[in-house]
Amino acid sequence: MVRPFRFGVNLLTPAPAAEWRATCRRAEELGYDVILVPDHLGMPAPFPALVAAAQATQRPRLGTFVLNSGFWNPALLAREVATTDALTGGRLELGLGTGYVRAEHEAAGLPYGSPRERVDHLERTVTELERLFGSGDHAPRPAQARVPVLIGANGDRMLRLTAEHADIAAFTGARPGKSAGTLDPLDAEELDERVARYRALAADRAEPAELNLLIQLVAVTDDPEPALEPLLAGRPGMTVEQALALPIVLAGPLDDVVAKVRAQRERFGFSYLTVLEPFMEAFAPVMERLRDESA
């Protein structure tokens, strides 16, 4: 079954109330299906930002993309999730990840841990949320019978956790870089292998998960090379052609970008795409064209 497209925008910039509401309303006007907030120091606090987004909009779902599980105690997180879902009228989607920026943990006075320890904590968080919300007596209660869970994953163990627990499997299309807090993009063949690994782990699921890809760069233009310069500057030896072929890059004329999005849904199964706030306007004509073609 080919899923219809769904599009989200991850809002990164703290703003006063009026400006925040205006940005959220603009995302709704442009046609985004989901308004998302990350979980990094220096960016908006996820749950109050999503409640404010709900007050400013009517249609979009609202999600975390993604929570740094190392910042959260599961019992306290359950309270936040239930309250936020209730206050947003059951529009919440809960995105979870391990966190990958050591400096943020150090600034917060929290242990960073090894990769194994971070995945352990995420697994405990997911299973404890399921236990608490499944008990029937947890207070407060979310508005939804089940708040959809998105897990951002790349490694084998994370993919297994995603296959077992997530309604939405989110692929970053990147791996941790050599420098702290950086990510290196996967090429199409590497991403093929990761998606295939996930599908094998999820083969016994009764309901297939929605597959999400985080897009790192959008430039609808007849001359995409200037837009690629920041990406190329940090990766000596990468050519313009290689950058344009990366799954997380959508750059080029509108027809080419639209064709690439459709091809990636066919090849990988990505029907849910997330773009970053700086590309919110640039991606709008792509969304419009894809919806027109599906009508």
Q: Dump pLDDT digits (tens) for 104-156.
A: 999 999 999 999 999 999 999 999 999 999 998 999 999 999 999 999 999 99
> DSSP secondary-structure letter at 136?
S
Q: Check whether 295 has a pLDDT greater than 60.
A: no
pLDDT of 81 > 90? The answer is yes
Task: Inform me whether the pLDDT recorded for 181 exceeds 70.
Answer: no
What single DSSP character describes residue 170?
A: E
**Would 71 be classed as within a structural domain?**
yes
Grade residue 62 by pLDDT with cuts at 50, 70 and 90: very high
Does residue 282 lie in a domain region? Answer: yes
Q: Is the pLDDT of residue 207 over 60?
A: yes
By C-alpha distance, which of 39, 88, 80 is closest to 60? 88
In a domain, 279, yes or no: yes
220 assigned to some structural domain: no
Confirm whether 235 is domain-assigned: no
Q: Which domain holds residue 101?
A: 6-215+257-294
Structurally, the chain folds into a number of domains equal to: 1
Q: Is the pLDDT of residue 1 over 80?
A: no
Round to whole Å and give the CA distance between 91 and 51.
10
Predicted local distance difference test score (pLDDT) of residue 2: 85
Dist CA 199 CA 181 (whole Å): 28
Residue 64 lies in a domain: yes
**CATH number of the domain that 134 lies in?**
3.20.20.30
Q: What is the pLDDT of residues 234-289, one digit of tens each?
A: 888 999 999 999 999 999 999 999 999 999 999 999 999 999 999 999 999 999 99
Residue 174 lies in a domain: yes
Query: For residue range 14-60, what is the model confidence (pLDDT) as tens digits?
Result: 999 999 999 999 999 999 999 999 999 999 999 999 999 999 999 99
Q: Is residue 172 part of a domain?
A: yes
d(CA 31, CA 29): 5
Query: CA 14 to CA 16: how far, in whole Å?
Result: 7
Q: How far, in Å, CA of 11 to CA of 289, rounded?
A: 23
Whole-number average pLDDT of the chain: 96
